[in-house]
Amino acid sequence: MTEMTYLRAISDGLRTEMREDERVLLMGEDIGVYGGAFKVTDGFIEEFGADRVMDTPLAESGIVGTAVGAAVVGLRPVCEMQFADFVSCGFDQIVNVAGKMLYRQGLPVNITVRLPSGGGFSGGPYHSQNPEAWFMHSPGLKVVAPSTPEDAKGLIIASIRDPNPVIFMEHKNLYRRVKGEVPEGSYETPFRARVAREGSDLVVITYGAMVHTALEATLDLDGASIMVLDLRSLVPLDEAAILAAVHECSKVVIVDEANQTCAAGAQVAALIAEHAFEDLDGPVVRVASPDIPIPFSPPLEAAVLPSVDRVREACRQLLEY
Amino acid sequence: MATSSTDVPSGPKTTAQESPTSPSPHLTPDDRVGLLRDMLAMRTIEQRAMNLYRQGKVPGSFYDGFGQEAVSVGATWAMAAADRLCVLHRDLGAHIVRGVAPATILSQYMGREAGVTSGRDGNVHFGDYRTGCVGMVSMLPDMMLVAAGMAMAFKLRHEARCALTWFGDGSTSRGDFHEAMNWAGVQNLPVIFILENNQFAYSTPIDQQFAVNPVQRAAGYGFPGVSVDGNDVEAVFEATRAARERAIAGGGPTLIEAVTMRMHGHGAHDDMKYVPKALVEEWRKKDPIDRQSVRVTQLGVDVDALRKEVLGEVEEATKVALAGAMPDPATVTDRLFHPRDADEILLEDGEAPWSGFKGTPS
């Protein structure tokens, strides 16, 4: 085990898999010589060469589309969108080409698309988004969102090995803020939920950066026993783990950093309403960003993103229900 | 594995004394008959399918490539088994050349289990991965990027292989056209882009689609653009063969504009009233099958007998397809994800009938 940041854990996972499998190549804007906008691939070009750490033209549709072509003839491309926000320019290739290829033609598309996502540092409307729900709504794509360094490494390796297109949500606000013990060598994290903290009075269901917000918000909540369930994978969604947590706790707060409408948490809420109604001892409560663009100015952004205080207050009110 | 340009045999050359002249010196008499045969197969299958559509046996609408047969058949004829193709909806001929059986194609049109997509997608929205082909999506120029990506992989692995895709005049307006052309130019990829200029994108004529013919844009991306008579199957073959030779030798991409005409509506539901009748009449005289039939007749082949043979095969295939089962609704959610423990599936080699490939390892 080595302690490292979330960002270094992603790098470690990519490097580990590139050493093990020569079919893996990285594609993206400024990822080679410069090492990536966030330095995830810093030093990679020296080890693996420019062919496998490919600086591409500034063209997101091009990155995904050519990755699809390379995948169906035997490579395993990992695409980096410089910011998750920019994936809108590659949306069609992901949704219409990669996502539907297997179902239509029996041809799997083994690509991984990394999306540095999320706000919290005045990135403004185009460097702060959490677009995971776009892809949850589109058949044929898997969507994962690690919250810890250990899972970041294990999930990037599992994503590359998965024969299907995987959208890998990596939260920028975790990159250097979160550190943890990471196993050496190669391992895979399953596409299933993880109990981040045990508890029995209330469960907070969330993923990505909001796992840390939830853990902090509920660390000491008037002595209540609060479970935090880290989804880790949004597609497939670990329905059994969600329903088990609801059965155990009976009170549920669902936290998304994404805009509220049709967010991942909305699907979780719908699942609970359909299948765990009898287990509930209070309304399902959601905390998410309102349906507005993520604003630039610090007080405005802070008013939008779910904060420790907002999550704590939501939990407190539900506990009193 | 395909061969490099230096060791691709050209096949015996024809002479003026024994054969009609050809735009390509690389076609044997058998090749020239084969080109006609596959164009006849495409037209006959599509005519039969249109008939099935009118009988209510083909759901949705029906889209064909009547009058454009030379573009897909001629280009595919120049591709090696290990090459890879992204095929569009006017290009049934590509699937025929690569070895997809007529009964499979007709089953596909009718949404039957035995179709290439097992009823998951319709029309010519298919690619049989066992023949090295990826089927189109409806956002047509998307495939230009997929083809560029295949070519990128070939280049990265130092393989002497080539990728090819078609797209229409309307596709040249979309961003993916630019991204693919630019990408292929920057990376000097072994890819062939075939612009199937059939004068109309649905109802929109080309003068409302572009101010400058896209073939001229190729120079701006750093590679050649050539225009070819898209109703001359041997000319399409020759242009593609030359482009492939360039690509395999490391010369990079080529844009080929195949000038042709969409002789039917966009789909079976389209009466094409926006197309001047005189224009259709003018193009009818340039029918690619009629033109190749003249050449093949001069070679001493009985074209009527060939037509009958093809018709017989298609009728037989129609019976097979009609007898096939519809897909089981209980399977509708199957195959959304490929299991981790299942065998890897990649594009496989297709048939490559050109005599120039005979005797070469594939």
DSSP secondary structure, A144-177, as one string: E---SHHHHHHHHHHHHHSSS-EEEEEETTTTTT
A62 with B340: Cβ contact below 8 A: no
**pLDDT computed for residue B358 by the predictor:** 86
Contact A75 B156 (CB under 8 A): yes
Once rounded to an integer, what is the mean pLDDT over residues A302-308?
A: 98
Find how far residue A246's CA is from the centre of its chain.
Answer: 22
For A136-178, the pLDDT digits (tens) are: 999 999 999 999 999 999 999 999 999 999 999 999 999 999 9
ipTM for the predicted complex? 0.97
Residues of chain A neighbouring B176 (CB-CB closer than 8 A): 61-62, 65, 92-93
Q: How far off is chain B from A57, nearest CA to CA, in Å?
A: 7
Task: Provide the CA A58 distance to its chain's centre, in angstroms.
Answer: 23
Number of inter-chain CB pairs under 8 A, A vs B? 140
**Cα B341 to Cα A161, A233, B19, B337, distances in angstroms:** 11, 19, 56, 12
* CA distance linking residue A18 with residue B216, whole number of Å: 41
| Average pLDDT of the segment spanning A1-17 | 98
* Separation of alpha carbons A29 and A19, rounded Å: 22
User: What is residue B18's predicted lDDT score, i.e. its pLDDT?
Assistant: 58
Averaged pLDDT, A261-282: 98
Query: With contacts defined as CB-CB under 8 Å, which chain A residues touch B115?
Result: none
Count CA atoms closer than 13 A to B189's CA, side-chain side. 31
pLDDT digits (tens, 9 = 90+) for B34-57: 999 999 999 999 999 999 999 999
Q: Are B200 and B67 spatial neighbours (Cβ–Cβ below 8 Å)?
A: no
**What's the mean pLDDT in A191-220?**
98
Give yes or no for a contact between B89 and B63, defined as CB atoms under 8 angstroms apart: yes
The residues of chain B scoring below 70 in pLDDT are 1-18, 360-362
Q: How far apart are CA A105 and CA B100, in angstroms?
A: 14
pLDDT of B10 reads 47
pTM: 0.95
Interface of A with B (CB under 8 A): 25, 51, 56-57, 59, 61-62, 64-75, 92-93, 96-97, 100-108, 139-140, 142, 161-164
Q: Contact A243/A253 with Cβ under 8 angstroms?
A: no
Active site residue A127: yes
DSSP code at position B216: G
Check residue A8 and report its DSSP letter. H
Nearest CB to B84 within list A73, A92, A161: A73
- Please report the pLDDT score of residue B360 as a whole number: 60
Average pLDDT in chain A = 98
User: What are the structure tokens assigned to B249, written together?
Assistant: 């030798």
Residue B18, SS3? Answer: coil
